[in-house]
Structure 1
Amino acid sequence: MTEELWRWSATELARAIRTRRVSSRETVESCLGRIEEVNGHLNALVELSAEESLEAADAADRAVSEGREVGPLHGVPVSIKINSDQAGHATTNGVVAFKDNVAEVDSPHVAKLREAGAVFLGRSNTPAFSYRWFADNDLHGRTLNPWDEGRTPGGSSGGASSSVASGMVPIGHGNDIGGSVRYPAYACGVVGIRPTVGRVPSWYGPPAADEALSVQSMLVQGPLARSVADLRLALDAMSGFDARDPFSAPLPPASANEPLSRPVRVGLVRDVGVASPESAVNEALDAAAGWLVEAGYIVEEVELPLLEEAYRLWYLLCMEEFRQIMPLVEEIGDTGMKLAAKTYYTAAEGWWGANPSLDDYMNGYARRGTLIGRLQAFMQNYPLVLLPVSAEQAFEHDADISSIERGLEVVAAQWSMMAIPMLGFPAMSVPTGISNGLPAGVQLLGRRFREDTLFEAAEVIEARCGTLTPVSSASSEVGASR
């Protein structure tokens, strides 16, 4: 039994540890064994905390034996992304120059996971500056997708998705301002959620610095997991108020919301005129829509052009704010990040010109509010929207930088990755099956602070599709056997 604990869900592990059916030490040892088996090939966890995690596991077991109150993730292994502060560990963000940037205190979202009893097993890889859909950097190297080593595991939380999908940890921490939770989940066949801004407390920059407005109002922290139940457990554990986050709200858990009136109407959006979805993407949408209809939902194909406008607006507001750190990127960033930035600015220039003005920027934020209001009005009739995660399945490595032409195709395929953060709504990536040897999936978009409705619909899809992971092959055979 102990040898296979790495296969257990976080929900099963939390219950078993709390009731002393298994120990946290046994669980951590099992996950460490799995890491030893597959991480050398996948390179998903770029820092391993074996001794520290075993000490934390022993402390967790003592707390149970002494009858102390325990949190929802008590004794459960979790990975933390290398762009977030974890006390005593370097926040490298995949940048060589940051390799000794050791944090003194936990970021708010890391602190919430620690308070919930999570055992931090290791730190997951990301691209330099966490600004690509490909987990590769000069400091830690490239992370592979356990389904196909020639495809990206996604980014920027690619180390989290690869480690969860391959069984190293049941829950991985990620963050999302341009798809960095939802896309890696999609690429690796796991579930991932970007909650509403304010639900999970966050801080992304150095403690003494200021965060850009887009980071404050669009970036969120969210979990990746192998099952919807585990994702729900992890999100509730991460949620709560922290005074360090200017947008943090003292909210009850998402699971405490009153159910929507039935039947729930779902708007199905295939394409907003940016990139036509591949056949595998359309088939995933059709499958998910059919399962929801069979479960009593009303699914209707709709047009939602405001998402196309929000996608373009992201490349004005976020990329103009990112321009402030481009001198630092040019100085210490790796080649991949520099080339990716060139692709993003090329895309932005096609809509906003080479040098957007302050008026453009101010009017862009004004327009953002209008679009948020319009989406809220639309969702009075359609509380859920079913749409692609990407117009393509998992990209080949470095598709964003192989040429400007291919890079712009990648940018177009990811339109929903930008549109939803621009508007600040919650969304979830849910697998629907396997196509062409790769995971396929869909995205669910919900009303603000109604993550519970995403979980309910995702459970319907999961009940029909099943869970695709953990990918059980070992070592260099991970992915190759697929």
Structure 2
Amino acid sequence: MTNRPLWQLSLSELAEAVRARAVTARAVIDAHLARIDEINPIVNALTVVFHDRARALAEEVDRRLAAGEDAGPLAGVPFTVKENIDITWSATTSGWAFLAEVAAAKDATMVRRLLEAGAIPVARGNMPDWGLRWDTDNDLFGRTINPWDPQRVPGGSSGGDAVAVATGMTPLGLGNDYGGSLRLPAYAAGVCALRPSAGRIPAPSVDVLEPVPLSLQFFAVNGPIARRVDDLDTAFGLMHGADGSDPTAVTIPHPSSYDGARRAAVVRDPLGWGVDPQVAAAVDRAADALSAAGWEIIEAEPPLIEEAATLWRKISTTEMVGAFLPGALPMPLSQGSTQYFLDNAKETEILESGQAYGGAWAQRAVIAAAWERFQSEYPVILGPVSARRMPEIGFDLSGPEATTELWRAHRLLVTVNFLGLPSVAVPTGLDEDSLPTGVQLIGPRNGEHIALAAARDVEAALGTLTPVNFSTKVVA
């Protein structure tokens, strides 16, 4: 144990301390609930807090440990759960008011597996309604504040969990990533996130009762947000694997280390469309860190990024147009999500025929094969999370052209989703305005351990930025 407050410790440090009985699980949970009560009214990252239930679960962990029982590898460690991931004692709202009373009958598999490991849910994380924006705001819970700069968005859609991790309200958050929704909020908050390969962690809802759009099956994944790369690895190791329910989930061994070729392709400005100077500097720092750790660094751009990013946008928008036509939903989207959806649709080619839609999916195999060949030579790809710093609040609603500007900035981000690849977002220090910078390390399909190994080397050289210990005046 150290003399640091318990809310400042990492997932691994907390687990070790509780299991060694250097601190009680109840003390750990009380410290985090107190931190939530202090900080959450300022940043609005967490929507529902489980004070009584979390304390009761902590007391059960302490009882088991006192009896000499094994309470699990994460005994007493708190975590938060995004609003679109099922947990039985809290409604799965996805940020929609009309779902505010609809609780699931079963926990999502990843929640259940963490519970079985002794971890304790303390709250739910905020998100934009239906995860539709690269921001975190909705009519039910309101806006989440970026703790580094309240004028800038915290990213989305897992923005609540990322801010909660960054501010010490939890060492672990659970989110999902359809178009960067784990990595972008982590980048904004100065924390780490793992977007696993498609199918590695089962779906956020246990029972599939309605048809699931193809893009959700292929682009969307669930994953962890934490302050340290090792904690991502630990959480993923507990959550991954088929569950007998999700037909897309697979069980593949997750190695504890990587002993293969240490070769990384660095793409500083994907497609030459431009990056902010702070972004370029972050990639340079990460490349230097990898080089110092023994990685061979090669300047090389992966193939067909524009084609992949364009098809991600066309397919996702086409499916949303079909889902969000007037009268298709029991309740409307929020004003912000509605405007973003309509503006984005104006800027995107809709695949109106079955032939066009099927052809887009057929082209995915061509692009994936090209990446498979590229990644057999370069096991890690280092590049920006976004080509720009986080925009100010309202930028994404400033007109149709803004949706295209954001898509261009996120071209490498969404390419990873289109191809179903693993990627780790990791911070790389602060820029001249004291804002977090960061990069992503992209691994080959089912190569989470490779991306984590590279991210671990970047973190070892450049350090961590959080938890943020700020005064209320900073975010007032």
TM-score (norm 2): 0.95
> Paired residue for 1:359, among 347, 355, 363?
355
Q: Given the alignment of the two structures, is residue 406 of structure 1 paired with residue 407 of structure 2, yes or no?
A: no
* Aligned counterpart, 1:286: 284
Equivalent residue in structure 1 for 2:466, among 458, 466, 469? 469
The answer (yes or no) to whether the contact 1:189–1:441 under 8 Å persists in 2 is yes
Contact 1:472 1:478 in 2 (8 A): no
Equivalent position SS for 1:395: coil
CA distance, structure 2, for counterparts of residue 65 and residue 170 of structure 1? 24
User: Residue in 1 aligned with 2:453?
Assistant: 456
User: Are 1:372 and 2:368 an aligned pair?
Assistant: yes
1:319 alignment partner in structure 2: 317
Shift of 1:254: 4.0
Q: How far does residue 385 in structure 1 lie from its aligned partner after superposition?
A: 0.4
Pair 1:345-2:358 in alignment: no
Q: Aligned-pair distance for 1:204?
A: 4.6
In the alignment, the residues of structure 1 paired with residue 334 and residue 138 of structure 2 have an alpha-carbon distance, to the nearest angstrom, of 7
Do the aligned residues in 1 keep the contact of 2:215 with 2:316 (CA within 8 Å)? yes
Note closer, same or farther for the CA distance 1:142–1:206 as it changes in structure 2 (3 Å cut).
farther
Look up the equivalent residue of 2:345 and give its one-letter code: Y
Q: CA deviation at 1:214?
A: 1.5
What is the alpha-carbon distance in structure 2 between the residues aligned to residue 50 and residue 67 of structure 1?
Answer: 26
Q: What amino acid sits opposite 2:334 in the alignment?
A: D
Q: Deviations over 1:204-241 (max 9, x none)?
A: 58642222121122211100001111111111121122
The answer to whether the 8 Å contact 1:400/1:406 transfers is yes
Q: Percent identity?
A: 38
Please give the secondary structure, in 2, of the residue aligned with 1:79. strand
Instruction: Give the structure 2 partner of residue 112 of structure 1.
Output: 113
> 3-state SS of the aligned residue for 2:5?
helix
Partner SS state of residue 174, structure 2: strand
| Separation in 2, partners of 1:205, 1:396 | 36
Deviates more, 1:15-24 or 1:452-461: 452-461
Which amino acid counterpart does residue 300 of structure 1 have in structure 2? I
The separation in 2 between residues aligned to 1:386 and 1:45, in whole angstroms, is 32
Query: Which deviates further from its counterpart, 321-330 or 437-446?
Result: 321-330
In structure 1, stretches of 5+ residues that fail to align are none
Deviation at 1:479, TM superposition (A): 4.3
* Alignment deviations for residues 350-408 of structure 1 (CA, whole Å, 9 cap, x no partner): xxxx4531111111111111111110110111011001100111121121112222232
- Please give the alpha-carbon distance, in whole angstroms, between the structure 2 residues aligned to 1:360 and 1:86: 38
Once the two structures are superposed, the pairs formed by residues 141-156 of structure 1 within 5 Å of their partners are: 141-156=142-157
Give 1:66-465 correspondences, 5 Å limit.
66-204=67-205, 207-255=208-256, 259-261=259-261, 264-273=262-271, 275-327=273-325, 328=328, 331-349=331-349, 354=350, 356-435=352-431, 436-465=433-462
Q: Distance in 1 between matches of 2:258 and 2:163?
A: 35
The DSSP-based 3-state class of the residue aligned with 1:259 is: coil
Identify the range of structure 1 (402-411 vs 77-86) with the bigger mean alpha-carbon deviation: 402-411
Give the whole-Å Cα distance in 2 for the aligned partners of 1:330 and 1:103: 18
Between the aligned partners of 1:386 and 1:464, the Cα distance in structure 2 is 15
1:280 corresponds to which letter in structure 2? Q
Secondary structure of 1:293 counterpart: helix
Aligned twin of 1:51: 52
Structure 1 Cα separation of the partners of residues 231 and 269 of structure 2: 30
**Residue 258 of structure 1, CA deviation:** 5.3
With over 3 angstroms needed to count, the CA separation of the structure-2 counterparts of 1:442 and 1:380, relative to structure 1, is same
CA RMSD between the two structures = 1.8
Asked if the contact 2:269–2:280 (Cα under 8 Å) also holds between the matched residues in 1, the reply is no
Comparing 444-453 with 203-212, which one deviates more in the overlay? 203-212
Q: What do residues 55-86 of structure 1 show as CA deviations (whole Å, max 9, x unaligned)?
A: 01111111222222333222100000001110
Shift of 1:318: 2.0
2:371 aligned partner, one-letter code: L
Change (3 A) 1:142 1:191: same
Partners of 2:7 and 2:258 in 1: CA distance: 35
CA contact (8 A) 1:2 1:27 kept: no
Q: How far apart, in 2, do the equivalents of 1:2 and 1:119 lie? A: 23
TM-score of the aligned structures, taking structure 1 as reference length: 0.94
Q: Which amino acid aligns with 2:96?
A: V
CA distance in 2 between counterparts of 1:130 and 1:456 reads 29
Please report how far the alpha carbon of residue 270 of structure 1 lies from its aligned counterpart in structure 2 after TM superposition: 2.2
Q: Which shifted more, 268-277 or 314-323?
A: 268-277
Does structure 1 conserve the Cα–Cα contact (< 8 Å) formed by 2:380 and 2:444? yes
CA contact (8 A) 2:258 2:453 kept: no
Distance across 1 between alignment mates of 2:399 and 2:321? 22
The whole-number CA distance in structure 2 between the counterparts of 1:38 and 1:226 is 17
Alignment of 1:25-44 (within 5 A): 25-44=26-45
Question: Which residue identity is paired with 2:110?
Answer: H
CA distance in 2, matches of 1:266, 1:343: 37
Cα pair 2:270 2:412 within 8 Å, conserved: no
Q: Distance in 1 between matches of 2:403 and 2:421?
A: 26
Deviation at 1:274, TM superposition (A): 6.9
**Cα 1:86–1:422, aligned 2, differ >3 Å: closer, same or farther?**
same
In structure 1, what residue type is equivalent to 2:160?
Answer: G
Per mean C-alpha deviation after superposition, the further-off stretch among 128-137 and 295-304 is: 295-304
Q: CA deviation at 1:36?
A: 1.0
Alpha-carbon offset, residue 343 of structure 1: 2.8
Report the Cα distance in structure 1 between the residues aligned to 2:306 and 2:25, rounded to whole angstroms.
47
Separation in structure 2 between the aligned mates of residue 300 and residue 98 of structure 1, nearest angstrom: 49
How far did 1:271 drift? Answer: 2.6
Is the contact made by 2:314 and 2:351 (CA closer than 8 Å) also made in structure 1?
no
Q: Per the alignment, in what secondary structure is the counterpart of residue 332 of structure 1?
A: coil
Task: Determine helix, strand or coil for the equivalent of 1:276.
Answer: coil
3-state SS in 2 of match to 1:175? strand
8 Å CA contact 2:109, 2:239 repeated in 1: no
Of residues 381-390 and 62-71 in structure 1, the stretch that sits farther from structure 2 once superposed is: 62-71
Distance in 2 between the 1:18 and 1:260 partners? 34
Distance 1:58 1:219 in 2: 36
2:265/2:382 contact within 8 Å kept: yes
